[in-house]
Structure 1
C-alpha cells in the first residue's frame, strides 16, 4: 500500500505540472485569462533579434548549401558519356601529344577511363567540349595530332585553361563548405537551438506561474472551484499558497535570466561574421585564380587570331 501511494505521489508530481501548464495555455488561447504574466521588454527584444538571426541563417544556408553539390552549375541538358568523364583534359592532351596518326589520336580520346569520373562542373564541361572540338577539327583536316589549325590549337588551350578554372572552383567550394557552411550550420543547429530550448523553459515556467496563481485564487477545488477570483482579490493568501507562488516566481525569474544569458551569447558571438568573411575570401581567391588563368590564355588566343588573319589576308592577296 505504501508503494502504491508513493507511486501515486511520484506520478502526480511528474504529470500535474505538465497538465497545469497545458490547461493554462488552453485557457489563454481561448481568451479565458485576464491576468497574464508579462515578459520583460528587454527579453522580448532579445527574442526578436534571435528570431531574425535564425531566419538569416536559414535563408543564407538555403542558397549557399549549393556549394555542397558539385554539379550546381553543370548544364542540365548536357549528356556526357562515360568515356567523356573518364580522363582529365590534361591527360587527354598528353596522350594526344604522343599520337603519331589520326588513329592514335582517336584512341587517345577514347582511352580507358580512370576509376574516378571527372567533375561535373560548368568549367569542366566546357573543357571537355573544347578538347573534343579541337580533336574533331584536326581529324577533319586529316593531319592527326600534328595539325596547326589555329582554331583547333586555341580550343585545346581553352580546354586546359577551363579545366584549371574548374579545379579552382572545386577548391573554392571545399573552402566554403569547411569554413562557412559548417560554421553556420553549427550555429543554427546548436547555438540557436540552445536559445530556443531556453526560451521554451521560460514559457513553461511562465505558464506554471500563472497556473499556480489561478489555482490559488480558485480555491482548494482548483479551477472552477467554489471560491472565485473576484472574491479572493481582497483575501490574504495562506502561507502555503504564498510559498507556491513565490517558488513559481523564482523559477520563472531564474529561467528568464538563464535565457537572457543564452540569447546574448548567441547574438554576441563573432563566429557568423568570421564565417562570412571566410566565404568571401574563398570567392575572391577563386575569381582571382580564374582571372589569372584566363589572363594568361587571352594573349595566346589573340596571337593565334592575329596570325590567322594575316595568313588569310595573304591568301586573298595572292588570289
Structure 2
C-alpha cells in the first residue's frame, strides 16, 4: 500500500511537470492551425531587435564559413602537387646550408633528401613554390659545366629562400587571425547570440503559457477538426479572482522574460567586439602583405642584377665571335 501511495505521488508530481508543457504545446498547435483568436502580440521594438539579432547571426555564419579556412594550413596548397616525405623533411634554408657544403652531386642529392629534423614542413603555396625552386636550382647546378654558377640556378635558390619567408609570414597571419578574429566571432555566435536565442525562447515560452492560461480560464475549448475555438465565457468581469490572479501572474512572467530578452539582445547588438575583431583581421592581412612585399622587394633587384649580368655576358660572347 505504501508503495502504491509513493507511485501515485510520483505520477502526480510528474503530471504537474508535464501539464505546463502540454498546455504550451496545445496552444502552439492551435496557433499553427489558425484556431487561436487571442494571441498576445510582442512589442514592435522587440520584434525589431529580433530581426537585427537574426541578421547579426546570419552575418557571423556567412563570414565564418569562409574565414574558418585560416584554421586549415593547406588552404592554398595546390591539390595536384605530389610531394614526398623527403621533400617535406627539411626547410629550404636547411637544404641551402647543406647544399653549400656538398662537394659532389651525390652529396647534393643527399642534402635535398636529408631526413627531417622536426615535423614535416608546412603545406602552403609559398612553401611549395620554395621547395620546387630549390629542387629546380639544384637540377641546373648539377648539369652546369661552364665557369662560375648558372645564373638561373642562383636566382631560383634566392627565390626559394624568399618564398619560404613569405610562407612563414602567411602562417603568422593565420595564427593572428585565428586568435584575434575567429575566436572572437565564434564566441559571439556560439555564446552571446546563443544567449539571446535562449532568452527569446523563454519569451515565447512565457507567451504561450500566458495565452494557454487565458484560453483555459476563459473557457475556450479546442477540438480536432474545428475551424476556431469555442468560448463559453467572454467577459473579463465574469472571471473569478483566482482566474484573474493566474492570468496576471502569467502576464508578469511574460513581461519579465521580455524585458530580460530585450536587455540581452541590446547587449549583443551594441557590443563593439565584432567590429574590433574585424579590424584585427584586416590588420593581420595588412601585416602579411606588407611583409611579403618587403621580402619580394629585396629579392627583385638581386634577380634583375643577375639578369643584367647574364645579358652582358651573352653580349660580350657575341662580340668575340
What is the TM-score when the length of structure 1 is the normalising length? 0.94
Output the CA distance in 2 between the equivalents of 1:41 and 1:197. Answer: 20
2:119 aligned residue: 116
Aligned equivalent of 1:174: 175
* Aligned residue number for residue 89 of structure 1: 92
> Distance in 2 between the 1:234 and 1:151 partners?
94
Structure 2 CA distance for aligned equivalents of residues 241 and 249 of structure 1: 12
Question: Which residue is 2:226 aligned to?
Answer: none
Whole-angstrom distance in 2 between the partners of 1:131 and 1:9: 79
The count of residues paired between Structure 1 and Structure 2 equals: 313
* Cα distance in 2 between the residues matched to 1:186 and 1:234: 47
> What CA deviation, in whole Å up to 9, does each residue of 1:188-228 have, x standing for no partner?
11111100000000001000000111111116xx656xx94
1:245-298 Cα distance to aligned partner (Å, 9 max, x none) = 001100100000000010011111111111111111111110110000000000
- 1:232 counterpart SS class: coil
Which residue does the alignment assign to 1:21? 24
CA distance in 1: counterparts of 2:60 and 2:154, whole angstroms: 47
User: Secondary structure at 1:72's aligned position in 2?
Assistant: helix
Any stretches of 5+ residues in structure 2 without a counterpart?
224-228
Is 2:102 the counterpart of 1:99? yes
**CA shift at 1:233, angstroms?**
3.2
- Which residue pairs with 1:209 in the alignment? 210
2:74 aligned counterpart, secondary structure = coil
- Contact kept in structure 2, 1:141 and 1:147, CA below 8 Å: no
Indicate yes or no: 2:94 matched with 1:77.
no
Q: Is the 8 A contact 1:215 1:223 kept in 2?
A: no
Paired with 2:306 and 2:236, the residues of 1 have a C-alpha distance of 99
- Please give the alpha-carbon distance, in whole angstroms, between the structure 2 residues aligned to 1:236 and 1:3: 39
Alignment of 1:24-35 (within 5 A): 24-35=27-38
User: Partner of 1:305 in structure 2?
Assistant: 307
Displacement of 1:241: 0.7
| Cα pair 1:138 1:147 within 8 Å, conserved | no
Distance 1:142 1:34 in 2: 95
Q: CA deviation at 1:73?
A: 0.2
Q: Which runs of 5+ in 1 are unaligned?
A: none
Q: Hey, what's the Cα distance between the residues in 1 that align with 2:90 and 2:7?
A: 75
Superimposed CA distance per residue, residues 85-115 of structure 1 (whole angstroms, 9 cap, x where no aligned partner): 0000000000111112222212211212223
CA distance in 1, matches of 2:256, 2:39: 18
Equivalent-residue separation in structure 2 for 1:305 and 1:32 (angstroms) = 84
The yes-or-no answer on 1:59 pairing with 2:62 is yes
- Deviation (angstroms), 1:240: 0.9
- Find 1:257's aligned residue among 256, 259, 267: 259
Kindly state the Cα deviation for residue 4 of structure 1 after the two structures are TM-superposed.
5.0
Matched, 1:295 2:297: yes
**Mapping of 1:242-281 within 5 angstroms?**
242-281=244-283
Instruction: Name the counterpart of 1:45.
Output: 48
Relative distance call for 1:82 and 1:147 in structure 2 (3 A) is: farther
- Quick one: structure 1 residues 55 and 97, their matched pair in 2 at CA, closer, same or farther if it must change by over 3 Å? same
Residues 238 and 4 of structure 1, relative CA distance in 2, 3 Å threshold: farther
Q: Secondary structure at the match of 2:238?
A: coil
C-alpha RMSD of the superposition: 1.7
